[in-house]
Amino acid sequence: MKITLRSGRRSVAGLPGKLKVVGVVSGKLTEAGQELDAAYSGLLSQALKASRFRGEEGEFRLVMAGEAFVGLLGLGSKRGVSADRVREAGARVAKEALRLGVREVAVENFFADRLGKEAASYALAEGLYLGSYRFDRYKSEARPVRVRYWIAKGRGRVVEEARVLAEATAYARDLANEPPNVLTPEALAAEAERLAGEHGFEVRVLGPEEIEALGMGAFLAVARGSAHPPRLVHLVYRPEAPRRRVALVGKGLCFDTGGYSLKPTESMRHMKADMAGAAAVLGTFRALAELRPPVEVHGVIAAAENKISGGAYVVDEVVRTMSGKTVEVANTDAEGRLTLADALAYAGREAPDAIVSIATLTGSSVVALGRKVAALFATDDRLAGALLEAADAEGEKLWRMPLERSYRKLLVSDVADLKNVGSREGGAIQAALFLAEFVRDPFAHLDIAGPAFQREGWELGPAGASGYGVRTLVRWLASR
């Protein structure tokens, strides 16, 4: 899929495209719709009168206008207008364009009068791009598709910024959608090296011997059961005169069976996306290559598989982490926090001003917040506020959860410094507290187990990996 976004100075009527899309608000054509209606001699208003179309949010009606199509998109009412609504409207336009098979589309800049032309252009461009996403490289009948979108009276600079973030999100989606027999730990590390070579990042990839030399016993224990050896990836984006240094740590479990604490079949489905945190870090670096913010960024990924073999780790083992702390393994399916413990300790060696981890970490966060909202845990209010603001601006739903210190006692082990799980109640909080044992403040953790992978089509894309976190992290970094 090749998507091109263009901003046009003219109205929808004056832009190219076999499909022209305008909005319907509270049952009436928008001003742009009225202009197009006049160009087609009242055809659109006649179609509205003759139908039951009332312009409810997300409704779409197609009108034939000679050799062209006109799409009437329901935008709901003028109440509660937001960038989220515009972003979702853009995604709906993209889905309809793909369904119709058109390759050039002119779109009204929805709610530009309420949000401003720049904010509306940005949200619409993101929606058009994200809604166009398809992962079909393994379908034998798939063919290359090129679609060009024109945003009427759009703002070129912000459309270009939106393209960068949307492309980075799509890249992260591609990585997390790859089958596990393709995206192994070695392949994920090789992709990081390719990305670094293409964009001039520093990169270091460590194999099992080097990982062992660092004392990463927790990471190596998780990786032991797989025929594919682990890799530790360290990417660095280093601009001239950086204002700050931050570290992003992404969970890189390329497949998770649960180990000997085996997952049931349905829970094991889609565990290829258990590396969505790592994908988000790589997607963020892809965007950094174009946006070039004045922040030094270190990306750390502990890539492994949690599988079963004669050498796989088992419950009751005690492993020693890079930090020197020991951990009793109470559940082999709580493997992500073990790999992250060592990755976080490694990232801390760079003495960053802040560390942010992102991971599909706990089912508890899904129970609490569902599949559209990620959980945020933070040791610092300022860091938490900045991440929440960035997520809100990008329409990636994020909710701060309490880092309840009294729950730490649930992680106390009889035979080691810690155990990797406590009680079922408050499981996401305990997982975040576990991670906080291996870092210094300020630290934030994004548990994206819910929104990282959508099991059915949703507002901004098809079923599959969502690329959650890329746009939030990039917006946060770019605003620092």
CB 237 within 8 A of CB 296: yes
Whether 480 has a pLDDT exceeding 80, the answer reads no
Asked whether residue 335 is assigned to any structural domain, the reply reads: yes
| Pair 173, 25 in one domain | no
Residue 254 identity (one-letter amino acid)? C
Q: Specify the pairing of strand 244-256 against strand 354-359.
A: parallel
**Tokens coding 176:** 């997390």
Binned at pLDDT 50, 70 and 90, residue 54 comes out as confident
155 is catalytic: no
| Pair 302, 326 in one domain | yes
Whether 441 has a pLDDT exceeding 90, the answer reads yes
Asked whether residue 109 is assigned to any structural domain, the reply reads: yes
**Tokens coding 373:** 């909202």
Q: CA separation (Å) from 274 to 226, 238, 262?
A: 15, 28, 15
Asked whether residue 237 is assigned to any structural domain, the reply reads: yes
Could you give the residue ranges of the DSSP H alpha helices within 329-452? 336-348, 363-369, 381-394, 427-436
CATH of the domain at 141: 3.40.220.10
Cα gap 278→150, rounded to integer Å: 33
| pLDDT at residue 52, rounded to an integer | 82
Residue 363 identity (one-letter amino acid)? G
| Pair 176, 131 in one domain | no
User: Of 121, 153, 185, which residue is a domain's last?
Assistant: 153
CB 65 within 8 A of CB 58: no
Element (H, E) at 158: helix 156-177
| pLDDT at residue 317, rounded to an integer | 98
| Pair 49, 193 in one domain | no
| Pair 207, 312 in one domain | yes
User: Of 97, 123, 153, which residue is a domain's last?
Assistant: 153
| pLDDT at residue 383, rounded to an integer | 98
Asked whether residue 220 is assigned to any structural domain, the reply reads: yes
**Tokens coding 391:** 């997520």
Cα gap 34→45, rounded to integer Å: 8
User: Of 106, 129, 153, which residue is a domain's last?
Assistant: 153
Q: SS3 for 57?
A: coil
Q: Rounded to the nearest 5°, which phi and psi values hold at 444?
A: -135, 145
b/e sequence 65-77, b meaning 16+ C-beta within 10 Å? beeebbbbbbbbe
Binned at pLDDT 50, 70 and 90, residue 190 comes out as very high
Percent of the chain with pLDDT over 90: 95
| pLDDT at residue 297, rounded to an integer | 98
Give the up-direction half-sphere exposure of residue 402: CA atoms within 13 A in the CB hemisphere.
Answer: 6
Residue 70 lies in domain:
2-153
Whether 405 has a pLDDT exceeding 80, the answer reads yes
Whether 154 has a pLDDT exceeding 80, the answer reads yes
| pLDDT at residue 307, rounded to an integer | 98
| Pair 129, 197 in one domain | no
| Pair 46, 100 in one domain | yes
Cα gap 155→6, rounded to integer Å: 9
Q: SS3 for 245?
A: strand
| pLDDT at residue 351, rounded to an integer | 96
Binned at pLDDT 50, 70 and 90, residue 388 comes out as very high
Asked whether residue 160 is assigned to any structural domain, the reply reads: no
In the chain, count of helices (H) and strands (E)?
16, 20
Least confident of 65-74, 221-230, 291-300, 443-452: 65-74
| Pair 12, 69 in one domain | yes
Identify the residue whose tokens are 């009948």.
141
| pLDDT at residue 1, rounded to an integer | 75
Average pLDDT over residues 425-451: 97
CATH of the domain at 253: 3.40.630.10
Which residues, listed in sequence order, are joined to residue 8 by a DSSP beta bridge? 152
In the chain, what is the straight-line distance between the N-terminal and C-terminal CA atoms, in Å?
A: 33
CB 124 within 8 A of CB 21: no
Whether 143 has a pLDDT exceeding 90, the answer reads no
Asked whether residue 158 is assigned to any structural domain, the reply reads: no
| Pair 175, 104 in one domain | no
| pLDDT at residue 144, rounded to an integer | 85
Residue of 88, 91, 299, 92 lying closest to 199 (CA atoms) = 299
Catalytic residue among 20, 173, 224, 337: 337
Cα gap 44→476, rounded to integer Å: 43
Total domain count, the chain: 2
Catalytic residue among 263, 320, 325, 408: 263
Q: Please, what's the largest Cα pairwise distance for the chain? A: 81
Looking at residue 448, what DSSP letter applies? -
Q: CA separation (Å) from 467 to 235, 277, 450?
A: 19, 9, 12
337 is catalytic: yes
| Pair 146, 204 in one domain | no
Looking at residue 458, what DSSP letter applies? B
Asked whether residue 162 is assigned to any structural domain, the reply reads: no
Positions of E strands within 166-266: 202-206, 231-237, 244-256
| pLDDT at residue 417, rounded to an integer | 98
